[in-house]
Amino acid sequence: MISRGMLVLISAVVVSAALPGCRGMDIFQQREKIEQLTADLESARAETKVAQQAVSDARSELARKQKRIDTLVGLGPDRLKKLYYAKAIKLGQYTGGADLDAQGGDDGIKVFLRPIDANGDTIKAAGSVTVQLYDLGEPADKTLIGQYKWSVDEVAKAFSGGFLTYHFSFTCPWKTGPPKHDEITVRVEFVDYLTGKTMSVQKVCKVDLSTE
């Protein structure tokens, strides 16, 4: 009695005999040929499935982007006017010399920065900050006595919000010891990450240069 497996093999041989390249092969060669063709077919099916999924994903992403574009178009070109973003920056009244070690005399400058929106309110705007300290009593090539920078992530952590307290605060210790003069010009530059606008403000501050 012929087994089922043998019947399958014989059937495959009969079918494959009609395939190009199979004539003249023995039964084992024909079986290997069929197995190779079957493997190639399964591989092609898998590749087709992957390609179909890629096309489906691309169509979905295109649909999402088109929806976003339609939403932005619907908001109109004046949508920025309806958002809260910084239009100017101001320095808090307490910006000035700071005794950082509690041993007398100022050890640097404490900067309190307030981004202001179109309504004149302080907001927690995203942006980077650069502070420059100038001693204008020095020769022209030595007036810059310190420069300090904070990234947008660092600036976000520097915000204080509470009762009567809405500002960013930055500490700027002397770079090379106390300045020679007690009037220091503080210049602050803020780059707003929403609009890309660069804003600046400056203030002359009195500092305590005593050592007691």
pLDDT of residue 81: 66
Which pTM value belongs to this model? Answer: 0.64
Tens digits of residue pLDDT in 117-170: 988 999 999 999 999 999 999 999 999 999 999 999 999 999 998 777 789 999
Instruction: Tally DSSP H helices, then E strands, for the chain.
Output: 3, 9
Tens digits of residue pLDDT in 43-101: 888 889 889 999 998 999 888 888 877 776 776 666 666 677 899 999 999 999 999 99
Tens digits of residue pLDDT in 5-41: 444 444 554 555 555 555 556 677 778 878 888 888 8
62 to each of 55, 57, 58, 67, 69, how far by Cα in Å? 10, 9, 6, 9, 10
Q: Higher-confidence residue: 115 or 76?
A: 115
Tens digits of residue pLDDT in 172-188: 999 989 999 999 999 99
Q: Are 95 and 205 in contact (CB under 8 A)?
A: yes
